[in-house]
Amino acid sequence: MKRKPIRISILVSGQGRGTNMQAIIDACRSGKINGEVVLVIGVRDDAPAMERARAAGVKTVALSPKNFASDDAYNEALLTTLQEHQVDLVCLAGYMRALGANVVNAFRGRIMNVHPALIPAFCGKGMYGHHVHEAVIQRGVKYTGVTVHFVDEEYDHGPIIAQTVVPVEDDDTPETLAARVLKHEHETYTNAIALFADGRLKIEGQRVRVLPQSDC
């Protein structure tokens, strides 16, 4: 029996172009993911990713932290918005803020993030976007990659769902490396979401086991 499609909300930043968001929307509409992006939440209504979401016909809600008296008030509004839209899975796509404990607890095991490196390397607070690729090149590692993980109370720390290895070339710049990694972000992230939608992810402590299709 076919599973009920999941309802997905994507959280975006004020600066990102929204390519991971678009990849998720496209994967839902193509049938790769048994789900629908029902809501995109951003911190600025005029952010590129928000405009891209509206162009794709997806509902957007802007929640600017500046409009709230405290982080707690902002996180309460965020949680309320997610619950009002009956969201099953929250996907972070360049979202730079740490989620409040109330949001993490309410959606534990149902929040995903994609990181442009192989966690636990080159991750944590301050390690995002070009900062990651600059650090990778400066350190001289031969491989970097993509990690999709469930979100917990710490930056880039929750159980790892999937990883893809990407080679670092001798003549790479942060820009060329970022472009190569981004292509793998789209595929790795949508693959992980598809597994979640099919009920094939089981968290066991800090590990995530992918269940065979027959076990779902």
d(C-alpha 112, C-alpha 109), whole Å? 8
The predicted-structure confidence for 63-107, as pLDDT tens digits, reads as follows 999 999 999 999 999 999 999 999 999 999 989 888 999 999 999
The alpha-helical segments, DSSP class H, found in 31-120 are 48-55, 71-84, 101-106
Q: What is the torsional sign of CA 207, 208, 212, 216?
A: positive
Contact assessment for residue 8 and residue 193, using Cβ atoms and an 8 Å cutoff: yes
pLDDT at 215: 65
pLDDT at 1: 64
d(C-alpha 194, C-alpha 209), whole Å? 14
Element holding 186 (H helix, E strand):
helix 174-197
**Cβ neighbours of residue 62 under 8 Å, at least 6 residues apart?**
41, 42, 43, 44, 45, 50
Going by C-alpha positions, the residue among 10, 159, 27, 14 that lies closest to residue 82 is 10
User: Is the peptide bond preceding residue 120 cis, with omega within 30 degrees of 0?
Assistant: yes
Q: Is the pLDDT of residue 127 over 90?
A: no
pLDDT at 137: 96
d(C-alpha 167, C-alpha 99), whole Å? 31
Q: What is the DSSP letter of 62?
A: E
The pLDDT of 15-40, averaged and rounded, is 96
Question: Token digits for 34?
Answer: 């048994």
Q: Is the pLDDT of residue 216 over 70?
A: no
Pick one of 3.90.1150.10, 3.30.420.40, 3.40.50.170, 3.40.50.620 as the CATH number of 6-201. 3.40.50.170
Catalytic residue among 115, 133, 149, 186: 115
Q: Please report, for the chain, the start and end positions of each structural domain, with discontinuous segments joined by +.
A: 6-201
Contact assessment for residue 89 and residue 27, using Cβ atoms and an 8 Å cutoff: no
- Does 157 qualify as catalytic in the annotation? no
The separation between the first and the last C-alpha atoms of the chain, rounded to the nearest angstrom, is 10
pLDDT at 16: 80
Going by C-alpha positions, the residue among 77, 145, 70, 154 that lies closest to residue 114 is 145
pLDDT at 206: 93
pLDDT at 14: 80
